Chain A
Amino acid sequence: MGNSNGDSGEVQQERQRNCDISNSWNKMKGITEENMPKECDSSTVELRARKNGFKDNVVEAAPTNGCLKNCTANTTQCATANGTACSNSNSNSKQSLYTPAKKLSEFAAEHTRKTSFEEVPLHTACLTYLGFYLLMILGYINQLLFVPKVAKEENREGYVTLYDAFESFYSRYVYRRVRDCWNRPICSVPGDEVTLKDRVTNDYGWSFQFTGTETRCLNLGSYNYLGFADATGPCAEQSEETAREMGLAMTSTRVELGTTQLHLDLESLTARYLGVEDAIVFGMGFATNALNLPSLISPGCLVLSDEKNHASIILGLRLSGATTKVFKHNNMRDLERVLRYNVVHGNSKNGGKPWKKILILVEGVFSMEGSIVRLPEIIALKKKYKAYLYLDEAHSIGAMGPHGGGAVDYFGADPKDIDILMGTFTKSFGSAGGYIAGSKRLIDFLRTNSHAHCYASSMSPPIAQQIYTSMSIIMGLDGTDTGRQKINQLARNTRYFRRRLAQMGVITYGHEDSPVVPMLVYLFSKIGAVVRTLTTRHIAVVGVGFPATPIMEGRIRYCLSAAHTKEQLDYALEVIDEISDRLGLKYSRKPREPNTIEY
């Protein structure tokens, strides 16, 4: 049990297999360089052929001055990454910088050691299911006897019901009972502390009344990883200045009158930050996935998607019409099995012809599981089977790695090994929007074909300024080491918080370096009780239950921030310890650390 990803018995075999991949990776390394441009070529042509719009632009958009071959990953050399001044190039420097020193088997062993998905105790599992059935039965009885006014659809003769029956039943008769724990209005900046607007319900969650009072809480719920969500400081000041200068909205799309120098600067800074050739930014993080995936893949393509991928990815895949195969969460064995099968058997709907493209789609840090992608192994697999890799760094960008460069930075991988780097500015940067980064060809292709670029409104200038300033701070371009301090503070907070929770004996999921910390409470009532109790003790957290997680795995999710101090975390941990005893949350059967944990 314990320290495994549900396949602990297979670790040995997996190591063996990893050695195989590792060998093949070494072989690949030599030839990938030559292969890549060719692959890019064919894919771009194919993609363009599929689209019927913007054909005239294709010639213009094609990278005439792209530094496709000689732009190194070394960000200092590649100062303005979008093309012109890429000074140097030998690919040797890149090799020496980014070739992982460790073998894949070591990465796998490290992953197994650091990641924990402890299994639920049997009696808790039984009780959880029993409780869920009980709630459903009570819900149906309640629905039979009392139909409140809001639940009726009136004057609808001849119409079918507009709202899906089960969902409305579920939200009215199960979720409604603990509705006070969600959608809580706040009235302050979500920094290290947040002010909740108090409300009461006199009818079991059907309606709420504001009491007019407010509660100041320690904020363990926002994705404010680096603490850039702030109403004061350089980010806020510069954003304000930009707002006064340029207003709040561009009222146009990027391809019309919506592009300013700020947007272009932000794109080149993003590219430089990530160590790639070019980047494109969008005004909405969710749409970055949902609207760009359909322009990259089409029916006849195969997508291998991790089972815990975010809703935006799933929506994007559905919109694209590509065939999607789901592999088990972070399970390289399963991924390779699916990959190999599909490479060998091809598209069964098309008489076994090869798939147009195969895309592996994973996230850097999984927001509900708190686990980190097994990037080195996935890169090796993608090279072995010649698949493309799309990495969603929404939660990891800024929050992971010694330079805040996301999962890529954390593993010391070469950013060019990932074909499509996607991420959002909504979390670590304390702003809004998302980006896609990669080769210049890819970004030019998206500039002509992406719906989020062509049709969606351009990013608001103060929003862009917030990202630009916070990114500059993280990179140390402002001449201070504030960014580095924030990254280190977050890493320390994460380690400390996770280790203290493990010492208490509660079950937490995921990787020990991930700032998302899900604490398993299993039962619905316990989610409600924990959130309510913590609110009375001035701590704001987020509870997650069915349907966002499997029925069995209700959890409380803590999101750590660089803005938290040790004292704040100590207070939170003390309270969590107390309520875990009182509510019975200490399910873990792992050995506990007997010594005091140092910050």
Chain B
Amino acid sequence: MLQNIIDFCNYWWFRYLMVTELYMVEKWERVTIHVIFAVLFCLFWYFNYSVLLSFTGSILGITPISDSIEQQAAKIA
């Protein structure tokens, strides 16, 4: 069971390396690219969370849940 899962993950990891051309590069390059990918992902996530979310919220007139929770909390307090 566990072996199957490991095999499955290994196989798809291999396929992922293949389509991103990381299969044929050196190990340190692979790590560098993954770090860059991770950093990019985090930056996008932060950007979406802090800028895009409030921007779309204000355009569409949706109050973020966090705001209403804060208001409720303030009332209770």
- Bind each other: yes
- Known contacts: A525-B18, A526-B18, A583-B18. The answer to whether A142 contacts B29 by CB under 8 A is yes
- Bound together, the chains give a CA A584 to CA B15 distance in angstroms of 8
B23 A135 Cβ-Cβ under 8 A: no
- Known contacts: A134-B33, A138-B33. The answer to whether A177 contacts B15 by CB under 8 A is no
B20 A177 Cβ-Cβ under 8 A: no
Q: Count of B residues near A, CB < 8 Å? A: 15
| Shortest Cβ gap from A251 to chain B (Å) | 47
B29 A584 Cβ-Cβ under 8 A: no
What does the 1/0 interface line of A289-329 toward B look like (CB < 8 Å)?
00000000000000000000000000000000000000000
Which of B15, B21, B29 contacts A131 (CB under 8 A)?
B21
B20 A134 Cβ-Cβ under 8 A: yes
A177 B18 Cβ-Cβ under 8 A: no
B25 A135 Cβ-Cβ under 8 A: yes
B74 within 8 A of A: no
B20 A529 Cβ-Cβ under 8 A: no
Which of A134, A583, A584 contacts B21 (CB under 8 A)?
A134
A-B contact count (CB 8 A): 49
B33 A529 Cβ-Cβ under 8 A: no
- Bound together, the chains give a CA A178 to CA B23 distance in angstroms of 10
B26 within 8 A of A: yes
- Known contacts: A141-B29, A141-B32. The answer to whether A135 contacts B21 by CB under 8 A is yes
B21 A132 Cβ-Cβ under 8 A: yes
| Shortest Cβ gap from A481 to chain B (Å) | 48
Interface residues of B in 2-44 (CB under 8 A from A): 11, 15, 17-26, 29, 32-33
A459 within 8 A of B: no
A425 within 8 A of B: no
B24 A525 Cβ-Cβ under 8 A: yes
Chain A residues with Cβ under 8 A from B15's Cβ?
583-584
Which of A141, A528, A583 contacts B24 (CB under 8 A)?
A528
Q: Residue of A at shortest CB range from B21?
A: A131
- Known contacts: A138-B25, A204-B26. The answer to whether A131 contacts B20 by CB under 8 A is yes
Shortest beta-carbon contacts, A-B, top 5: A131-B21, A525-B23, A177-B24, A525-B18, A127-B19
B21 A524 Cβ-Cβ under 8 A: yes
Show 13 A/B contacts (Cβ-Cβ < 8 Å), sorted by A.
A131-B19, A131-B20, A131-B21, A135-B24, A138-B25, A142-B26, A142-B29, A178-B24, A523-B18, A524-B21, A525-B17, A583-B15, A584-B19
- Bound together, the chains give a CA A525 to CA B15 distance in angstroms of 10
- Known contacts: A134-B33, A138-B33, A141-B32. The answer to whether A523 contacts B19 by CB under 8 A is yes
B20 A130 Cβ-Cβ under 8 A: yes
Which of A132, A142, A204, A529 contacts B18 (CB under 8 A)?
A529
| Shortest Cβ gap from B62 to chain A (Å) | 32
- Bound together, the chains give a CA A579 to CA B52 distance in angstroms of 44
- Bound together, the chains give a CA A525 to CA B11 distance in angstroms of 15
| Shortest Cβ gap from B26 to chain A (Å) | 6
What does the 1/0 interface line of A354-393 toward B look like (CB < 8 Å)?
0000000000000000000000000000000000000000
Q: Residue of A at shortest CB range from B36?
A: A137
Q: Among B18, B20, B21, B32, find the residue whose CB has the most chain A CB atoms closer than 10 A.
A: B21
